[in-house]
């Protein structure tokens, strides 16, 4: 049975030049996408211009890594990193369902990805986010 088209799969499809990742790496990437798109870009401290400048290189990786070293489960990692980045629970039902599913994956392999391969995961998420932004801009009247 084919996998349902989830929000993160839709976003990933906008960067077809990126090859798919296996198992835990894919889960880590999808969680990072949900985190990025879950940040409240209107009221969170991350929305301030001085923090936006360092978001991809400092703010996001620093908080993701810190949460990964503190957590032994994905649930705890998600709670910690969302709290530090000002990302409330997803408002959209499809994102909530996908997040709940991803948080049920085996924790340690995904946390290891976030601890030891974070720059590569962030790079891919940034490429995907740029592709999503390009599509949104192109779709505007």
In a domain, 122, yes or no: yes
pTM: 0.93
Q: Is residue 3 part of a domain?
A: no
Q: 36 is in which domain, residue-wise?
A: 24-139
Residue 9 lies in a domain: no
Structure tokens at 67: 């949460």
Q: Which tokens hold the place of 103?
A: 């948080």
Predicted pLDDT of residue 3: 61
Count: domains in the chain? 1
pLDDT at 1: 38
CA 105 to each of CA 31, 132, 137: distance values in angstroms, whole numbers, following the listed order: 11, 26, 34
| The pLDDT of residue 45 | 85
Ranges in the chain, pLDDT < 50: 1
What is the C-alpha separation between 86 and 11, in angstroms, rounded? 21
Residue 88 lies in a domain: yes
State the first-to-last Cα distance of the chain, in angstroms, to the nearest integer: 37
Q: Is residue 17 part of a domain?
A: no
Q: Is residue 104 part of a domain?
A: yes
Q: Is residue 6 part of a domain?
A: no
């Amino acid at each position: 049975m084919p996998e349902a088209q989830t929000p993160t799969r839709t976003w990933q499809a906008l960067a077809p030049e990126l090859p798919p990742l296996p198992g835990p790496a894919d889960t880590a990437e999808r969680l990072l996408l949900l985190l990025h798109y879950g940040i409240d870009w209107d009221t969170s401290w991350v929305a301030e211009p001085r923090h936006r400048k360092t978001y991809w290189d400092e703010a996001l990786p620093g908080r993701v890594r810190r949460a990964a070293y503190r957590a032994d489960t994905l649930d705890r990692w998600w709670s910690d990193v969302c709290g530090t980045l000002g990302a409330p629970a997803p408002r959209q039902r499809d994102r909530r369902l996908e997040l709940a599913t991803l948080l049920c994956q085996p924790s340690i392999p995904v946390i290891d990805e976030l601890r030891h391969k974070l720059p590569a995961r962030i790079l891919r998420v940034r490429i995907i986010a740029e592709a999503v932004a390009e599509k949104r801009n192109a779709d505007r009247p």
